[in-house]
Amino acid sequence: MAGTDSSRTPILGGPVVVLVRPQLGENIGAAARAMLNFGLTEMRLVAPRDGWPSERARATASRADLVLDGATVHDTTLEAIGDLELVLATTARERDMSKPVLRPREAAARLREAQAAGRRAGILFGGERAGLGNDDVARTAAIVEVATNPAFSSLNLAQAVLLIGHDWFQADAEAPAESQVRPATAAELENFYLRLEAGLDAGGFLKPPEKRPSMVRNIRNIFSRADLSDQEVRTLHGIVSALGRVDPTAAAGPGDGDEV
């Protein structure tokens, strides 16, 4: 096949590519081909509509079997990203949430820096029909947005993977100084979020019910922007525990809530 030379040493690895609720096997296969073009080899699928494995995916992957053979299937986005310490989301839709927006080149540099620091990183791509949901985006550190025609910004799934993969392949980053701090994983953050939200529900903060989803996403975005370490997450757990022991009938004195 033109452009394929099995005698040469392949470039493998890179961030995890997570396809969330992909629909067509053909698009999964084309995405796998785009991944291998740029040395990305770990694919995770979240609830693929037509099931897995897929012969249609293999037929359009143009021998990117290495990617398809290693692909794993997950029921939820959280399950797919739980072990990752940096997760980015690709989306062309405007979101009603405060989150950093990166161009592909900036995202690639950040992913390279994470890899150089030994951090597990990944990038989410939404399904063909609706893209990523707000809850998926809220679990990520930043949004990656490709500059396109504002009147026609929709990209095919494989095209999006190709564009991000290309900038990843071209990017370079210096290894940062060694640190003993380990970033929190997505699963550790989720565990904290759920505990915090349970406490806020018990305290009557997340009301009215119809506003709860957006309030929860906004709270999660506050913490996702902080790039928390595992130790910081443990500290936050301690804070929630301490607040749970506070007597709710105790009246706050004048100025108790003032900043010192």
Q: For 121-146, what is the mean pLDDT?
A: 91
Does the pLDDT value for residue 20 go beyond 90?
yes
Flag whether 226 is in a domain.
yes
Looking at residue 105, its pLDDT comes to 93
Q: Is 178 helix (H, G, I), strand (E, B) or coil?
A: coil
User: Which of 141, 170, 199 lies at the terminal end of a domain, its last residue?
Assistant: 170
Check whether residue 24 and residue 124 sit in a common domain. Answer: yes
Domain that holds residue 207: 186-244
Most distant pair of Cα atoms in the chain: their distance: 77
Check whether residue 148 and residue 208 sit in a common domain. Answer: no
Check whether residue 190 and residue 165 sit in a common domain. Answer: no
Average pLDDT in the chain = 85
Spatial strand order of the sheet with 86-90 comes to 72-74, 43-46, 16-20, 121-125, 86-90, 142-144, 101-102
Check whether residue 203 and residue 92 sit in a common domain. Answer: no
The pLDDT-based confidence of 11 (bands split at 50, 70, 90) is: low
Question: How many domains are there within the chain?
Answer: 2
C-alpha 75/C-alpha 48 separation (Å) is 9
Check whether residue 93 and residue 217 sit in a common domain. Answer: no
User: Which of 111, 137, 170 lies at the terminal end of a domain, its last residue?
Assistant: 170
Looking at residue 182, its pLDDT comes to 85
The pLDDT tens digits of the residues spanning 99-115 come to: 889 999 999 999 999 98
Contact 121, 155 (CB under 8 A): no
Check whether residue 36 and residue 157 sit in a common domain. Answer: yes
Looking at residue 153, its pLDDT comes to 79
Flag whether 67 is in a domain.
yes
Q: Domain containing 115 — which CATH number?
A: 3.40.1280.10
Looking at residue 171, its pLDDT comes to 84
C-alpha 217/C-alpha 134 separation (Å) is 8
Looking at residue 24, its pLDDT comes to 93
Check whether residue 155 and residue 53 sit in a common domain. Answer: yes
Check whether residue 146 and residue 223 sit in a common domain. Answer: no
Looking at residue 257, its pLDDT comes to 40
Flag whether 254 is in a domain.
no
Q: Domain containing 205 — which CATH number?
A: 1.10.8
Flag whether 175 is in a domain.
no
φ, ψ of residue 81 to 5 degrees: the values are: -115, 5
Check whether residue 145 and residue 24 sit in a common domain. Answer: yes
Check whether residue 216 and residue 139 sit in a common domain. Answer: no
* Residues 6+ away with beta carbon under 8 Å from 58: 29, 65, 68
| Token duo for residue 21 | 């609720």
Q: Is 62 helix (H, G, I), strand (E, B) or coil?
A: coil
Share of the chain above pLDDT 70, in %: 85
Q: For 26-47, what is the mean pLDDT?
A: 95
The pLDDT-based confidence of 252 (bands split at 50, 70, 90) is: very low
| Token duo for residue 12 | 């493998």
Flag whether 256 is in a domain.
no
Check whether residue 161 and residue 190 sit in a common domain. Answer: no
Q: Is 142 helix (H, G, I), strand (E, B) or coil?
A: strand
Query: In this structure, which amino acid lies at residue 176?
Result: P
Q: For 218-230, what is the mean pLDDT?
A: 88
The pLDDT tens digits of the residues spanning 70-102 come to: 999 999 999 999 999 999 999 876 666 778 899
Check whether residue 144 and residue 226 sit in a common domain. Answer: no
Looking at residue 188, its pLDDT comes to 93
Looking at residue 173, its pLDDT comes to 45
Flag whether 227 is in a domain.
yes
Flag whether 9 is in a domain.
no
The pLDDT tens digits of the residues spanning 43-58 come to: 999 999 999 999 999 9
Q: For 190-202, what is the mean pLDDT?
A: 92
Q: Is 190 helix (H, G, I), strand (E, B) or coil?
A: helix
Flag whether 177 is in a domain.
no
